[in-house]
Structures are given as C-alpha cells and as structure tokens.
C-alpha cells in the first residue's frame, strides 16, 4: 500500500508500506479520503508543535474515512463493505482517567499520526489502516467518505461548544480556519443567538459566512472594528479562541461579558493575560482538547444533514500529489479544508 510519510520538516514522501492484517477485535479499512488538519501542518512545517517533536518517520493523518475491507477474529461488525469514519482516539481503558469516565485524558492514549509518544503512533494517511472495530464508526446512509472525513474536526468543535452554555448566547469565534468555521456550525446547532467571526484574512471569513456566521470582521484591515463590542463590560456570552495566538486570547477578555466564558481551542502559543480582568469580570477561562463521545454524534449530524460540512471542502487532490496538498492546505488565502483522495 502507499502511505504519506514525513521524515523531517518539509521532507514528505509517498512510500510503499506493507498492508497489515487485522487481529482479534480489529478491522482493516480501505481509506478513501483524508483531511489535512492543523496539527498535520505543524508536523509538516516544524516537525511538531509545542514540546512535541518527531523523533522518527511518521505516517501523518487522522481525519479519515473509507470502507471496511476485512474483519479480524471475533469481530461481528461493521460488515465488510460498510462505509465508515475512523475515530483516531484509542484510550487504554484501564488508567485512572479511563476508569473514572475521562478517557479523553487517558494516560496511555494512542492517537493516529501523533508524536506525543515514542514509538510514534502512525497515522491514517495510507491506502489501508488496521484499527479497533469500535473505532470504525458506520456512516449514516447517504453520506460519503468526503463528508465522513469531517467527523473528527467536527467532533472537536462539538466538544468545545459543550464547555459552556451556548444556547441563546452571543458567540464570538476568533480565527476562521477549518476549526473556526466548523465552530460556526457547531455553535448554531447548539442554539447560538448570534455568531461573529474574526480573522486576519478575507478568504477564511468568506467560508465562515457560507456556513452561517451573522457577521465577519477582518481585524487586520479594520483593527478598531471590535471596539464597539467592548463597551458596557463586553458583548459576548462565549468566545472561542481558534487561532492559537496569545494576543488573540488577551484581546478576547474585554469583549466577553461578566461571568462569560472564553474557551481556548487553538494551540501552540503563550499569552500574557491580565488576571485582574478575569477576576473582576468573573470570566471562565478554560481549554477544550480533542473529543470523546462527540465523534459518534458528529457522524450522525453529518449523515442526517443536520450539519452540512460540504461548503468547507475547498480542494481534493490525489494521493500522488500529497506534497502539493499540504502546501495548498497551508495557504489560508487559497483553501479551507483540503482532502486527499486515496482511491
């Protein structure tokens, strides 16, 4: 089989790998689509993010969907031929966090395409993947692999909107990349009354408008445009920081109402935060990391049509053009979500 392997920053190749056979409790999935995530881009550009760095070659990718091709011993389903989205998270099930209902914080988590542990967990950007049977979540009838590959990033945003009561609230999303745009869909599904989105480029903001943002603001072209939202101690009930920038976090605090919430979804930055503002306005400041049960919900919402992710798929490139796909995905002026077609 062919796989997309990163050896070091910018050193990306399509290489041949052996097809593994599914063991007990596992299935073999023929991958059809894979979406390039921000973390994939961090590996491609820098070899990692934060304190995480690659120490060995790694197959990238975790936003994947395809069809079940073979069942391992003892597996009754999903049946061969079933279209599935693959949940990239495999918590151990036995650590203290797993045993107390917090598998998202598993001490021994295996997450596809991750250098957080050594040996690294190889990713899903390959023509075949062996995974646990329960990780192959059947797609709802009528949805395809292109939509199914959105399940993982949508699950991230569904988890984020679960961090604070969105229903009936005024929401600001700072950063209009793929996660920011999906946050628009997730916040609207959760009942947001108003959704404003900011970014420093016009291209991503156009996608935010496509999926239902009430207003978008290019803060690079109009740096004072958000000042009106800071009057009378703030306008927004909830702010999602999806840009991963320290300055953005600081800028959010004057805009949120007293007892409002600022949810950090973006990663990779440090921030200088005026603690007195958080204290005096009683702001809830919290992080949101990956997802848990939201993956199955994401599959259902996409398949049922209650959330339409199709406007966010900007480009699909074949496997042989993997490097071009990564370069395109890294250019926010030209793309939103770039997927790779494996078949």
pLDDT, one tens digit per residue, over 153-199 is 999 999 999 999 999 999 999 999 999 999 999 999 999 999 999 99
3-class secondary-structure state, position 95: coil
Q: Which domain holds residue 17?
A: 2-154+291-341
Q: Does residue 202 register a pLDDT over 90?
A: yes
pLDDT given for residue 50 in this prediction: 80
Residues 106/97, Cβ–Cβ less than 8 Å = yes
Residue 12 sits in the same domain as residue 140: yes
Q: Under 8 Å CB-to-CB from 268, ≥6 apart: which residues?
A: 42, 49, 50, 244
Instruction: Read off the pLDDT of each residue in 83-88 and give the average, rounded to a whole number.
Output: 98
Tokens of 334: 């030209």
Residue 18 sits in the same domain as residue 107: yes
DSSP-assigned beta bridge partners for residue 116: none
Q: Does residue 336 register a pLDDT over 90?
A: yes
pTM of the model: 0.96
Residue 280 CB burial class (10 angstroms; 0-12, 13-18, ≥19): exposed
pLDDT given for residue 270 in this prediction: 80
Identify the CA nearest to 216 among candidates 194, 246, 189: 194
Residue 175 sits in the same domain as residue 302: no
Residue 224 sits in the same domain as residue 185: yes
DSSP alpha helix (H) spans, the chain: 38-46, 96-99, 145-148, 151-161, 178-189, 202-210, 246-252, 275-281, 294-304, 322-329
Residue 330 sits in the same domain as residue 253: no
Residue 231 sits in the same domain as residue 257: yes
> Which of 287, 309, 326 is at the close of a domain?
287
Identify the CA nearest to 212 among candidates 190, 187, 235, 232: 187
pLDDT given for residue 214 in this prediction: 98
Is the peptide bond preceding residue 239 cis, with omega within 30 degrees of 0?
A: no
Residue 10 sits in the same domain as residue 148: yes
The band of 51, judged by pLDDT with boundaries at 50, 70 and 90, is: confident
Identify the CA nearest to 207 among candidates 241, 248, 177: 177
Residue 247 sits in the same domain as residue 317: no
pLDDT given for residue 226 in this prediction: 97
Q: At what angle do helices 178-189 and 151-161 cross, to 10 degrees?
A: 60
Tokens of 255: 């805009």
Count the domains in the chain.
2
Domain CATH for 225: 3.40.50.720
Tokens of 225: 């445009």
Domain CATH for 138: 3.90.180.10
> What DSSP string runs through 148-215?
HTTHHHHHHHHHHHTTS--TT-EEEEE--SHHHHHHHHHHHHTT-SEEEEEESSHHHHHHHHHTT-SE
Q: At what angle do helices 178-189 and 202-210 cross, to 10 degrees?
A: 30
Q: Under 8 Å CB-to-CB from 109, ≥6 apart: which residues?
A: 89, 90, 91, 92, 116
pLDDT given for residue 141 in this prediction: 81
Residues 141-158 have pLDDT tens digits of: 878 999 999 999 999 999
Residues 110-127 have pLDDT tens digits of: 999 999 999 999 999 999
Residues 203-242 have pLDDT tens digits of: 999 999 999 999 999 999 999 999 999 999 999 999 999 9
Can you tell me the distance from the alpha carbon of 187 to that of 175, in angstroms, rounded to the nearest whole number? 14
pLDDT given for residue 76 in this prediction: 92
Identify the CA nearest to 249 among candidates 216, 275, 218: 275
The counts of H helices and E strands in the chain are: 10, 20
Residue 139 sits in the same domain as residue 226: no
Residues 210/337, Cβ–Cβ less than 8 Å = no
> Which of 268, 287, 306 is at the close of a domain?
287
DSSP-assigned beta bridge partners for residue 85: 65, 137
Residue 204 sits in the same domain as residue 234: yes
Residue 241 sits in the same domain as residue 106: no
Can you tell me the distance from the alpha carbon of 234 to that of 253, in angstroms, rounded to the nearest whole number? 8
Residue 147 sits in the same domain as residue 38: yes
Identify the CA nearest to 293 among candidates 183, 167, 156: 156
Residues 312-324 have pLDDT tens digits of: 999 999 999 999 9
Q: Does residue 297 register a pLDDT over 80?
A: yes
């Amino acid at each position: 089989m062919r796989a997309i392997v990163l050896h070091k920053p910018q050193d990306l190749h399509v290489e041949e790998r052996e097809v593994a056979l599914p063991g007990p409790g596992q299935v073999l999935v023929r991958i059809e689509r894979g979406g390039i995530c921000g973390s994939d881009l961090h590996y491609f550009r820098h070899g990692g993010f934060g304190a995480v760095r690659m120490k060995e070659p790694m197959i990238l990718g975790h936003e994947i969907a395809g069809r079940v091709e073979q069942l391992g011993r003892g597996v009754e389903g999903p049946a061969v031929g079933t279209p599935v989205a693959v949940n990239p998270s495999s918590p151990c099930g036995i650590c203290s966090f797993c045993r107390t209902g917090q598998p998202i914080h598993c001490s021994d988590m295996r997450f596809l395409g991750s250098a957080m542990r050594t040996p690294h967990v190889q990713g899903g950007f390959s023509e075949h993947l062996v995974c646990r049977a329960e990780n192959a979540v059947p797609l709802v009838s009528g949805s395809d692999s292109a939509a199914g590959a959105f399940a993982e990033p949508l699950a991230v945003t569904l988890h984020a909107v679960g961090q604070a009561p969105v229903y009936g609230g005024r929401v600001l999303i700072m950063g209009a990349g793929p996660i920011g745009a999906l946050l628009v869909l997730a916040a609207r599904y959760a009942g947001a009354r108003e959704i404003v989105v900011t970014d420093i480029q016009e291209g991503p903001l156009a996608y935010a408008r496509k999926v239902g943002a009430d207003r978008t603001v290019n803060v690079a072209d109009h740096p004072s445009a958000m000042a009106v939202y800071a009057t009378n101690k703030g306008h927004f009930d909830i702010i999602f920081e999806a840009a991963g920038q320290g300055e953005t976090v600081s800028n959010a605090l004057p805009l949120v109402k007293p007892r409002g919430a600022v949810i950090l979804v973006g990663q990779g930055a440090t921030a200088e935060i005026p603690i007195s503002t958080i204290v005096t306005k009683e702001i809830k400041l919290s992080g949101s990391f990956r997802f848990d049960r939201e993956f199955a919900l994401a599959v259902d919402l996409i398949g049922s049509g209650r959330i339409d992710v199709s406007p966010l798929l900007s480009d699909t490139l074949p496997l042989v053009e993997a490097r071009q796909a990564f370069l395109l995905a890294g250019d926010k002026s030209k793309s939103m979500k770039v997927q790779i077609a494996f078949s």
